[in-house]
Structure 1
Amino acid sequence: MADSNTTQFTNPSTFILLGIPGLEWAHVWIAIPFCFMYVITILANVTILFIVKTEPSLHEPMYYFLCMLAITDLVLSTATLPKILSNFWFNSREIEFSACLTQLFFVHSFALIESGICVSMAFDRYVAICHPLRHSTILNNSMMAKIGLAVLLRGVLLALPYPFLARHWPYCRTNVIAYTHCEHMDVVKLACADVRVSSYYGLFVLFCRVGLDLLFIAVSYILILRAIFRLPTKEARLKTFGTCISHLCVILTFYTPNLFSSLTTRFGFNIPLHFYILIANIYLLVPPMLNPIIYGVRTKQIRDRLLRLVMPKGT
């Protein structure tokens, strides 16, 4: 066995990211759609932030949450995509141990933050539909600041143990990570120690991020649907439910690949490694790209403001 697989890496100076094992020959080509999606992610989310900032009529809770989502998507994708692209295009596979732990922290903390924002947006829809006359009173600027701070603190505090636990373990097997970026379980699996503490804590965070958050979202929508079905006409019911479509699309695009990635990492379902890695990368690529597009297409105020930017009056 090679020395690199037997040397004690108690605190390895670098890790080696293999990218997508088995598809190394296609890395250059895979990077092209990855780069395309990353560029769209930056342009679309920055556009959303600019439109909400410059349009006074959009200074409402739903659009503040949308801005939080845009910032989160920008950080989540930027924490990983540049390194993935440099690996695929320039074979830059090495990542310093501290940089790997930093990337790991940002990926998990902002995934938690995004999940918290989805819950907050569900609460906004619940208040807007079930208590429309009190919406501006309940979700005032003070409450919005408290919700934003709570979502941020929860994401940071729950993700903070990840890098500390990963740094704690001795690494004596290898410093090669068969993945595109640093994820918690992919790193600690390289340790030559009993890492059940990391695994159990990861499951706890997964339960908080997916289990509890989806439970809160489900309860919100049960109450929303109950209120919708009480409306007198079919047109009113469809129009009211239509205000939730964008949020439901965001939930599906975020939680589906996220849950798939987390469960397959821990329980090792019998699927090809390259297929698992490609699917697992979807939540770094697709939700940040689609979220602003979904809201841009579905929201008339954003759509109209964008048209005025692209085609100013008098042209």
Structure 2
Amino acid sequence: MSRPIHAEHTLSRPLPRAAPPAHRSPLRLLAWPAYAATLVWYVHTYGLPYANDIVFCFLIGALIAAAVHSGHRLGWVRILRDWLPVMAAVWTYSLLRGYGSHTPWPVRYRPQLDIDRFLGAGQTWTVRLQHWLWTPDHPHWYDYAGTVVYMSHFFVVFALLAVLWRKQDGRFQRLLALYLTLTYVGFATYVLYPADPPWLTAVNGHMPAVTRIVQDVFSYSGLPRAGSLFENGSRFDNDVAAMPSLHAAYPMLLLLFFWPMASRRLRVLLVAYPLAMGFTLVYFGEHFITDVLAGWAYAVVIYFLLTRYLNRRAARRRARTEQPARTGRRV
């Protein structure tokens, strides 16, 4: 088992926890009910939040509610200090991702389609899986389960970041650095290599018709989805951001990040998550197999390169800290 990452490995040091006051205001008891009421109202009015900016709003709201409920008067200050820069980075990506669909380069589909047909012995696996498993107008239990796996992309990383942050774990800053690097490298690829997903390739007549299953499942369940504030407001949704699949990349990143300190049971879950996500993406017509493999490759390369860089920087920082102490002992 590898050594845990100490606080000096972080990119910034957390503020000390404020001691709870002796007498807590009764208003603190309203923190969680108010948060829950706001969430229920939003879902009822606009649908399930799934875009990064909306999810982030509710994540920060939950952290503030927890700080108010615990009675830490300055807890919200630390929340804003640590999370507003993260929110700004994620919101910037949400906006740029939409603008990334307007590039001077032609949209690609042929290389991914040819490779998938080769792997499927003449037919893409999206078409094969939907022929075997999908029943129009009658979603099965595994279609709903796959929708849960697909939607987990929009909140699992953020939830894990919040857990690490609440524990004042040095791994918070490291996972955050990995997540943002992977996200923006993926965005750069979307700009340089715009690519159609299978469902759009089929719409354009380049492969047999496939169903965008996640949309049908939501339609049959009666649960609308609330989109991104930036993408809806600017009309810049990006349908050609398929290569690489960040849906596939994030689970692989989590596998690599948590593997060294994970128990045997947790390792089973860490392996199952990227496999389930990859299967869902192909079956649902959201990504070609090539997109999934590229997402996994991006996650592996960025994890090892950035981890090596952060470890070296932390080692140099420790050496600078320990050098004066050793010099003083010799004197």
The TM-score with structure 2 as length reference comes to 0.29
The TM-score with structure 1 as length reference comes to 0.30
Higher relative contact order (CA 8 A, sep 6+): 1
